[in-house]
Amino acid sequence: LAKTTQPISMDSYEGQEVNITCSHNNIATNDYITWYQQFPSQGPRFIIQGYKTKVTNEVASLFIPADRKSSTLSLPRVSLSDTAVYYCLVAFNNAGNMLTFGGGTRLMVKP
């Protein structure tokens, strides 16, 4: 069964590092993992994408262990403007490229 699972919500404080984990047990060898950020009344915004090990860009890092059954989005030094819902997305090749989003993690950053 192609499924991605995330925590429903997380709280943090400004300046802290936030790690959000997504589990995707049935991921196939060639499936990519992509993370998005969504604000109310907007479409999801691309944050980062990875395939294995670690990927870093100017806003986030993505850690993927060797078994690839989970991935962790890391946001360094969050600010109030990072309050949003974060989604992981996997295109499960072994399920006909079913593009499957996790349920989303609502991150609340407090001052």
> Closest CB to another protein among 8 and 111?
8
Q: Dihedral sign for Cα 14, 17, 22, 27, please.
A: positive
Residues touching another protein, count (CB under 8 A):
24
> In a 3-state reduction of DSSP, which class is residue 24?
coil
State the Rg of the chain over Cα: 13
Report how far residue 101's alpha carbon sits from residue 88's, in angstroms, rounded to the nearest whole number. Answer: 6
CB of 34 to another protein, least distance (A): 6
CB of 19 to another protein, least distance (A): 21
The answer to the question of residue 10 lying near another protein (CB under 8 A) is no
102-to-16, 90, 110 alpha-carbon distances in Å:
24, 8, 24
Over the window 20 to 59, marking each residue x when it contacts another protein by CB under 8 A and - when it does not, the resulting string is: ----------x-x-x-x----xxxxxx--x-x--------
Binding stretches for another protein (CB under 8 A): 30, 32, 34, 36, 41-46, 49, 51, 87, 89, 91, 93, 96-101, 103-104
